[in-house]
Amino acid sequence: MPVIGIIGGSGLYAVEELRDAEWRDADTPWGRPSDALLHGTLDGTRMVFLPRHGRGHVHTPSTVPYRANVAAMKAAGVTHLVSVSATGSFREDMAPGDFVIVDQFIDRTFARDKTFFGPGLVAHVSVAHPVCPALSAACSQAATQAGATVHDGGTYLAMEGPQFSTLAESRLYRDWGCDVIGMTNMPEAKLAREAELHYASVAMVTDYDSWHPDHGSVQVSDVIRTLQCNVGRAAAMVAALPGLVRDAPCAEGCDHALNHAVMTAPDARDPDMVVRLQTIAGRVL
């Protein structure tokens, strides 16, 4: 049976639909996650929810403990991890209110820890195709059932923040062919791959960033207004997932991403690192 994890971004701080829901504290070798994890079930499927910025929105995009969040999900038994995020749009046809099922990223973040591995235990996973195609398809179907306008595929520019982009940056990312922009999906997606989780990213468009001549520069108040209109659809999408997510091998091989990834010879491995990495990489250590 799949266990579905949801990381809720700005505007999504709980999932009211969960049955037998219980907030449980968690701790990991990389510290505490953003908040307690909300455990529950939906249609007989176990689900675990984590608000990325914590309840009350206390973490900045740079201080979100991404490693602890992904590790806590893995330790909770999550197999399929869905990220829900607020994003700006670089495309006229990806309008505020629309959902984009992201399939690529450009990582422009620079002040975050990006790997579970390190000195004494080095590994390199592929993120050429950073999302799970099967889980992304399930999210697309779930969002469509929830009544959203859905775009399948899109490139997400991950910026450091917390300030929004300058006009020149916004134009540049548009010229690069990016579709949406946010501050949090990296390194989250990379870490999910290292943790051998199926990962999908659902971007809810909240604004046109700052490039659009007919729209003012993005303001948090605009983002929140659009999110408030969307939160019902996001919840309905999450509620539709148990009927659509299958515990089957995917074309990307997310659940065996670490096969052949570890470089450090067994006799050269730091024993403390081996212990620290049991939950993430124990399968191949």
Ligand X SMILES: CSC[C@H]1O[C@H](OP(=O)(O)O)[C@H](O)[C@@H]1O
Binding residues (CB under 6 A) for ligand X: these are 9-10, 52-53, 61, 85-86, 161, 182-184, 220, 223
**Residues facing 28 on adjacent strands:** 31
Question: Which of the choices ligand X, ligand ADE, none does residue 239 contact, using the CB cut-off of 5 to 8 A by kind?
Answer: none
The continuous run of DSSP H or E covering 119 comes out as: none
DSSP string, 31-78: B--SS-EEEEEETTEEEEEEETTTTTT---TTTS-HHHHHHHHHHTT-
Catalytic residue, chosen from 175, 179, 209, 272, is 209
Stretch that binds ligand ADE, among 47-55, 131-139, 175-183, 190-198 (CB under 6 A): 175-183
Count how many Cα atoms sit within 13 Å of the Cα of residue 243 in the half-sphere of its side chain: 11
Structure tokens at 188: 């989250």
Residue 96 contacts ligand ADE per CB under 6 A? no
8 binds ligand ADE (CB under 6 A): no
Smaller CB separation from ligand ADE, 61 or 242: 61
Q: Are 193 and 117 in contact (CB under 8 A)?
A: no
Residue with nearest beta carbon to ligand X: 9
Write down the least CB distance from residue 204 to ligand ADE, Å: 9
Residue 2 interacts, among ligand ADE, ligand X, none and using kind-specific CB cut-offs from 5 to 8 Å, with none
CA distances 232 to 56, 59, 142, Å, are 19, 24, 13
Known catalytic membership, residue 209: yes
Q: Is 230 in the site for ligand ADE (CB under 6 A)?
A: no
- What is the set of active-site residues? 207, 209
Q: Which residues are annotated as a binding site?
A: 10, 52-53, 85-86, 183-184, 207-209
